[in-house]
Amino acid sequence: MKFLKDFILFLVIILLQVSIFNNFLFFGYMNPYLYVYWLLSRNNEDQRALYLILAFVLGASIDIFEGSGGMHALATTFIAFIQPYLWRLVHKHGEEDEEAPWLQQLSLDRRLVFLILALFLHHLVLFTAENFGFNNVGILLKRSLYSSIFSFIFVGIYQFWKARR
Amino acid sequence: MRYFLLLLNRSRVLILFLVLEVIALTWISSSRSYPRAAVKSKTAEISGRFNTWGQEWRNFLNLRIENEHLAKENAQLRALIDASILAQNYGADTIRDSVIGQHYTYIPAQVVNSSFLKVNNYILIDKGARSGLRSNMGVINNKGIVGVITSVSENFARVLPLIHPNISLSAALKNNGFYGPLKWDGKSYRQAQLYDIPRYAEVSQGDTIITDGRSNIFPPNIQIGTVISGSLQADQNFYRLEVELSTDFAKIDNVYVVKNLLSEEADSLMQEQE
């Protein structure tokens, strides 16, 4: 049952990304890629191989809709790989609540730091792949930063809303 | 051997990660190369169908603006028909037959999906092989040049817009005829660059850039943009001009696909020479 729910959420998030969020373009640089949140919000430490493949499939589905040929697959696989290390980097021993779901084990401020770091890295890999190299580094960094901040606003609001409940 | 297997088992996540990344990288590089863009026509059919649905809404919301554009264009075309031209050479001995003289025909199409803020931008239009579209046909709109078709499926076609790093188009200065390749440096979707204009050419700000007949894709004398600024290239002998594009890629809806009726004839002659 939980598997089915996860699977439906997986499909819904792809559809949301390609139908709504891909059409958000603010100030010329900001395009939110929120579908990564599906990956970031779950613990992939126990089944890393499975989550790597799922991440690849997630990215590849976005690629097929966007016609962007492998860029999203590259970025999501990368994020799925470094996610546990990032998590360990920001989390502090003794502070976490073992009972809570994975992401909620981090305190709110640490969770936000984790999310912005992960989003920025994802966007950076994505835009580097799109650019196919490091020429125009300035523009690359600017686009990654602005877009990840923009994605972060959505994700951050969701986190605050969750924390208040 | 046992140790090796143990090592392999321990690093299986890393190996899987590397394999997946290599797959993604091959996918990226294969979809980037211009001639192999045909692979995309399969995914184009899927995303095309999906995007048509969203586009119907956007079309509806932009109806008023689009109508104004069409009305303007109608007015321009009306000015070109025979009835609105004063025939001054009554009794002349040559008759222009429009059927024999036809060089280009235009197929109207609608943009279903497009991007303009990325580096590898693309446009998808709602006409395909069924409407007689082929790759390497030019696409224009009422403002200027849009791009070149790279691949077609049954009902859709993918257009490589002017704002794509792979494009290179022959363009000329309207007032003195100097020409060079027009490319895009990936910075702003409003500006492209015209290279190889000789230093002795007189160029001033606001000069019009047009297509010239060398490309065999676009009819000559279609506006591309205007000169904003210029600087000398590294070799000090040629100018590199910043061109403000007349097509606004942030709002394109109605486009026309240019069908060159004589392109095969010209192509075969070109190949003969080589």
Give strand pairing partners of A131: none
> How many structural domains is chain B composed of?
2
- In the A/B pair of chains, how many CB contacts fall below 8 A? 83
pLDDT of residue B35: 43
B215 and B174 share a domain?
A: yes
Nearest-Cα distance to chain A for B67, in Å, is 23
Chain A contact set for B118 (CB, 8 A) = 130
Nearest-Cα distance to chain B for A117, in Å, is 20
The stretch B2-7 carries a mean pLDDT of 75
Closest to B21 (Cβ–Cβ): which among A31, A65, A78? A78
Q: For residue B52, what are the domain limits?
A: 45-79+99-164+251-260
| SS3 of residue B257 by DSSP | strand
What secondary structure letter does DSSP report for B274?
Answer: -
- Between CA B218 and CA B257 the distance in angstroms is 10
B12-32 and B2-10 helices cross at what angle (nearest 10)? 60
Which pTM was predicted? 0.55
Q: Is the ipTM of this complex over 0.90?
A: no
The stretch B137-146 carries a mean pLDDT of 89
- B173 is a domain residue: yes
Chain A contact set for B119 (CB, 8 A) = 130-131
B255 and B134 share a domain?
A: yes
Closest to A64 (Cβ–Cβ): which among B28, B47, B119? B47
Pick the closest to residue B31 from B116, B158, B142 (CA basis).
B158
Token pair for A149: 């901040």
The class (CATH top level) of A2-164 is mainly alpha
User: For B165, which residue in chain A has the nearest alpha carbon?
Assistant: A131
Pick the closest to residue A139 from B95, B246, B240, B119 (CA basis).
B119
- B225 is a domain residue: yes
- B122–A67: do the CB atoms touch at under 8 Å? yes
B149 and B220 share a domain?
A: no
Which residues of chain B form beta strands (DSSP E)?
Answer: 104-114, 123-125, 138-140, 145-152, 157-161, 169-173, 179-183, 191-198, 208-211, 223-232, 238-245, 254-260
Q: What is the CATH number of the domain that holds B155?
A: 2.40.10.340
Q: What is the pLDDT of residues A80-138, one digit of tens each?
A: 999 888 888 887 766 666 666 677 777 778 888 888 999 999 989 988 888 776 777 88
- B86 is a domain residue: no
User: B158: burial class by Cβ within 10 Å (0-12, 13-18, 19+)?
Assistant: buried
Token pair for A22: 């891909």
- B265 is a domain residue: no
Token pair for B220: 């000559």
The owner of tokens 């969750």 is A162
Q: What is the CATH number of the domain that holds B232?
A: 2.40.10.350
Pick the closest to residue A63 from A6, A122, A14 (CA basis).
A14
Q: Testing the interface with A: which of B8, B10, B18, B21 to mutate, by most A Cβ within 10 A?
A: B21
- A77–B17: do the CB atoms touch at under 8 Å? yes
- Between CA B163 and CA B147 the distance in angstroms is 8
- Between CA B49 and CA B60 the distance in angstroms is 18
User: For A62, which residue in chain B has the nearest alpha carbon?
Assistant: B47
Token pair for B186: 């990936």
Q: What percent of chain B has pLDDT over 90?
A: 16
- Between CA B25 and CA A53 the distance in angstroms is 15
pLDDT at residue B46 above 60? yes
CA dihedral A148, A74, A71, B119 (to 10 degrees): 60
- Between CA B223 and CA B172 the distance in angstroms is 10
